[in-house]
Amino acid sequence: MSYTKLQFQRNVLDPQFQIQEITIADNDLSILMSNIDAVLKITDVFNEIDSNIGKIWNDIISDLLSSISSACSGFYRSGIVNLRSILELGCNTFFYLDHKIEYYLFEHENAKADKYVSTLIRDFNFFTSKYINSFNLAIQYHETTVDSVSNYLKQIYSQLSDVVHGRYNSLLKVNNIQVEYEIRSFKTYEELLSKTIGILCVMFILRFNNDKIDEINSLALKTGVIKE
């Protein structure tokens, strides 16, 4: 028997609406909102500096809203999967600022999207201490240890990749297919969201020598990879 429109309504859409209401009632959502605010502010600065590369942040914003919407609807794993896309696209925008030939190939030749975070760090020393030192920093924040930023990037990228590739311990529905509110899964998502956007905030501060935006500074400091 075919899955009917009515079944889809009852089993998927209706539970989603109920989960959204519970999520809003059970959480203040301030963490989610602060992450959205930070990404919007990063986008504004990117567009001022290089609007051509900055337009990629439109997709990052879309992915972020989709990710949060999924998590608030009970699809926690889907929300986390989107976070890896956000991290990869975000890192690519910083990379392309300093590698305009690669950006040209990306935009005009539709070059293969193979500049993964791990590849950037391994092949280009991306946001290692050596890389960061080239920015001639004149701000109040500095790395807590040598390569603290690149090591954190590798760690969060590995965590998100485990979910994307379906490592067993990252699966959430092996015992129950029902779509329902799970506070523990929501909090796991919330933590990974803040780590993902937090490291992008760190990169923003260091790359642009900009420690003037409170929302960005706050999320960046929570990663523990920079200090005054």
Average pLDDT over residues 152-176: 75
Residue-number span of the structural domain to which 177 is assigned: 5-227
Distance, CA of 61 to chain centre: 10
Q: Which of 106, 103, 94 is CA-nearest to residue 210?
A: 94
Residue 26 φ/ψ, nearest 5 degrees: -95, -10
Q: pLDDT tens, 49-82?
A: 999 999 999 999 999 999 999 999 999 999 999 9
Sign of CA dihedral 92, 65, 51, 140: negative
Q: How many angstroms separate the Cα of 25 from the Cα of each of 20, 22, 28, 72, 88? A: 9, 5, 7, 11, 32
Residue 152: pLDDT band (50, 70, 90) is very high
Q: pLDDT tens, 185-198?
A: 999 999 999 999 99
What is the structure's pLDDT at 89? 96
Q: Could you tell me where the beta strands, DSSP code E, fall in 9-121?
A: none
Residue 11 φ/ψ, nearest 5 degrees: -90, -20
Counting Cβ atoms within 10 Å, is residue 210 exposed (0-12), middle (13-18) or buried (19+)? middle
- Structural domains of the chain, count: 1
What is the structure's pLDDT at 173? 54
Query: In angstroms, rounded to a whole number, what is the distance separating the alpha carbons of residues 177 and 184?
Result: 16
Give the DSSP H or E segment for 143: strand 142-143
Q: Residue 226: helix, strand or coil by DSSP? A: strand
Residue 174: pLDDT band (50, 70, 90) is very low
Query: In angstroms, rounded to a whole number, what is the distance separating the alpha carbons of residues 62 and 116?
Result: 20
Q: pLDDT tens, 110-124?
A: 878 778 899 999 999
The overall average pLDDT reported for the chain is 91
What one-character DSSP code corresponds to residue 227? E
Query: In angstroms, rounded to a whole number, what is the distance separating the alpha carbons of residues 214 and 223?
Result: 15
Query: In angstroms, rounded to a whole number, what is the distance separating the alpha carbons of residues 14 and 83?
Result: 25
Q: pLDDT tens, 29-53?
A: 999 999 999 999 999 999 999 999 9
Cα torsion for 111, 208, 52, 31, to the nearest 10°?
90
What one-character DSSP code corresponds to residue 2? P
Beta strands 226-227; 142-143: pairing state: antiparallel
The vertex-76 CA angle with 159 and 114, nearest 5°, equals: 45
What is the structure's pLDDT at 137? 76
Residue 171: pLDDT band (50, 70, 90) is low
